[in-house]
Amino acid sequence: MKTTVVWFHNDLRLSDNPALYEAARRGAVVPVYIYAPEELGKRAPGGARQWWLHHALQALDQSLRERGLYLVIRRAAQSLPVLEQILTETGADALYWNTHYEPQLWERDERIRKTFQQRGIEVREFTSYLLHDPDAVRTDSGQPYGVFTPFWKRVLQVVKVPEPLPAPETLRAPKAMPISEPLEALELLPKIDWAAGFRETWRVGEAAAHQRLEWFLRNAVEDYHTLRDRPDLDATSRLSPHLHHGEISPRQIWHATLRHSKGKWTKGVEHFLRELGWREFGYHILYHHPYTQERALRREFDTFPWTEVETPAYKAWTKGRTGIPMVDAGMRQLWRIGWMHNRTRMIVASWLTKNLLIHWRLGEAWFWDTLVDADPASNVLGWQWTAGCGADAAPYFRIFNPVIQGRKFDPDGTYVRQWVPELANLPTQYIHAPWEAPESVLKQAGVELGKTYPYPQEPLDKSRDRALEMLERWAKRP
């Protein structure tokens, strides 16, 4: 019987997994996951994603076991020798995987492809991580896109999203199935258990991803366009970590959403699918400009004098102790559950890069370590967008005012009260700006500024003016 090694990456699911589907049609299947963080260098999964990965691998292994197989897990410095060994051991004559887009892995994949092809092994790659092919979608003059709206318009015109594939009906094991290392050997779980909030919040795995999608379609998609900016509500899909790890594919989401709306592009549906478009756009930029992982897409910002040292102000930001309630609420939500609402991501990123004038790279690195959905494309896109130096970026002079943002998007202060409990008893009028409250009000709410909750680390107006001045001076540089 023909035997195919299926090499899993960010596609930890059985359904709509073209590499697995085609391998199963061909004969016996050896599902393999190799954890080789050294190959990714600085882009190895951070702590929060390691936690997720542990549970995602466990869930995938369980689903395979229910079908009489199991996941062959290996920890290695390099993937190639492991694949060589597994192909030899099993007598497999083919190696399949689904394309992933981390620039760090392009050379490795090329080497692996060539090595096995030279040995007569059939090597095939399939696409399922994105809706569009970054090579195929181009402007009329053949250039990659740099602005979201025309990009998305073109994707909607030219891309016909294929129907997702079902999970293979049967999976057959080869005669010689390699043993797996225990999942624990990957040491993905934290040694000091900080993950209680993660466990309370998330259900990991393919089944959980589909349940969450169903919940979202039944309860939230129709109001998505009006409520998606409200961090105090459970009004977005929260599918980002599932999507990042490939527990669900974007085309599964696409088709399920349109099935739910009976093909109607209602406002909610349109806005939701458009957000998936931002994910596509992030990968479009990363694919065509891989240097953006380290440097601004708008290269002139390379000389912008951001601070790139971990100052006390930066540390207070990471801990959610800036004295700005919306910023602190976001940063504490991030720490506790490994996820933050998009609106607050923009607010905290604007505070760091503009009011504190700290480099977006430091913020991006913190998110990289703490987000369960930390993604090489979307994270960089989000940070550069907010800092004003990326694709389709908000102009540098647009500086989010966290008090106004809070009053608009967390109107009752529910979000702040949840994540900054020491402010919970403040009247709504002052919840986003406790320093404006009269002493008697603070006292009654049990708040002592500088003691139970910090004073703002920077005055809002002064730090805003300083950022604008700096920009002006920099823009006029010789």
Ligand X SMILES: Cc1cc2nc3c(=O)[nH]c(=O)nc-3n(C[C@H](O)[C@H](O)[C@H](O)COP(=O)(O)OP(=O)(O)OC[C@H]3O[C@@H](n4cnc5c(N)ncnc54)[C@H](O)[C@@H]3O)c2cc1C
Q: Which residues bind ligand X (CB under 6 A)?
A: 228, 236-240, 243-244, 275-276, 278-279, 282, 342, 345-346, 349, 367, 371, 373-375, 378-379, 381-383, 386
Q: How far, in whole angstroms, is CA 11 from its chain's centroid?
A: 14
User: Least distance (Å) from ligand X to the CB of residue 269?
Assistant: 12
- Is 435 annotated in the active site? no
Give the nearest residue (CB) to ligand X: 382
> 90 vs 378, which CB is nearer to ligand X?
378
Structure tokens at 233: 């509500």
User: Least distance (Å) from ligand X to the CB of residue 354?
Assistant: 12
> Choosing from 152, 317, 383, 385, which is the catalytic residue?
383
> 6 vs 297, which CB is nearer to ligand X?
297
Buried/exposed 193-225: b ≥16 CB within 10 Å, e otherwise: eebeebeeebebbbebbbebbeebbeebbbebb
Contact 159, 132 (CB under 8 A): yes
> Choosing from 306, 317, 335, 368, which is the catalytic residue?
306
> Choosing from 97, 152, 254, 360, which is the catalytic residue?
360
Contact 338, 370 (CB under 8 A): yes
> Choosing from 222, 310, 342, 474, which is the catalytic residue?
342
- Is 360 annotated in the active site? yes
CA separation for the pair 420, 139 (Å, rounded): 46
> Choosing from 84, 122, 125, 275, which is the catalytic residue?
275
> 4 vs 322, which CB is nearer to ligand X?
322
DSSP per-residue letters across 142-194: SPPP-SHHHHHHHHHHH--PPPPPPPPS--B--SSPPP---GGGG--S-SS--
Contact 363, 370 (CB under 8 A): no
Q: C-alpha distances in angstroms, 149 versus 80, 376, 380?
A: 40, 21, 19
- Is 385 annotated in the active site? no
> 116 vs 129, which CB is nearer to ligand X?
129
* CA-based R_g, the chain, Å: 24
User: Least distance (Å) from ligand X to the CB of residue 53?
Assistant: 15
User: Least distance (Å) from ligand X to the CB of residue 30?
Assistant: 30
User: Least distance (Å) from ligand X to the CB of residue 49?
Assistant: 9
User: Least distance (Å) from ligand X to the CB of residue 90?
Assistant: 35
- Is 278 annotated in the active site? yes
Query: Could you give the 3-state DSSP secondary structure of residue 307?
Result: strand
> Which residues make Cβ contacts (< 8 Å) with residue 118, sequence separation at least 6?
none
In 270-418, which ranges are E strands?
none
- 182: nearest Cα among 278, 70, 258, 277: 70
> 244 vs 361, which CB is nearer to ligand X?
244
> 56 vs 171, which CB is nearer to ligand X?
56
Query: Could you give the 3-state DSSP secondary structure of residue 65?
Result: helix
CA separation for the pair 204, 13 (Å, rounded): 11
User: Least distance (Å) from ligand X to the CB of residue 76?
Assistant: 26
Using DSSP, how many helices (H) and how many strands (E) does the chain show? 21, 5
> 20 vs 346, which CB is nearer to ligand X?
346
The catalytic residue positions are 275, 278, 306, 342, 360, 383
